[in-house]
Amino acid sequence: MSTEDSPAGFDLDGAWRLDDRVAIRPERFGALLYHFGTRRLSFLKSPALLTVVRSLAEHPSARAACTGAGVGAPELPRYRAALAALAASRMIQPRSR
């Protein structure tokens, strides 16, 4: 198991991006993500999480993307867990800064 599989091990201060093989379909509840390489489907259960995921490549870290989307410190553990799950399913991947 990699550290990305665990919410506590997900590096919020690392640089992340959406995998190139992932398509996003916005929905009222958030979005559906489909990975064409793994053929996996993921649900983003909030519009704010969709904003975070879409903006990962524009920020130096996942934490900065969360801050930019208006995610406060009390909400960070929940967003870390969601991002960890997306990393484990290869929807998002680390990038060099």
Per-residue pLDDT tens over the stretch 56-95: 999 999 999 999 999 999 999 999 999 999 999 999 999 9
The burial class, CB within 10 Å (0-12 / 13-18 / 19+), for 69 is buried
Domain that holds residue 8: 3-18+46-90
Specify if 74 maps to a domain. Answer: yes
More confident residue, 4 or 41: 41
Angstrom distance (rounded) from CA 55 to CA 18: 9
**Is residue 13, in this structure, part of any structural domain at all?**
yes
* Run of H or E including 40: strand 40-44
User: By percentage, how much of the chain surpasses pLDDT 70?
Assistant: 91
Q: Does any domain span residue 83?
A: yes
Q: What is the pTM of this model?
A: 0.88
Question: Does residue 78 lie in a domain region?
Answer: yes
User: How many domains, in total, are found in the chain?
Assistant: 1
Residue 96, C-beta contacts closer than 8 angstroms, at least 6 positions apart? 15
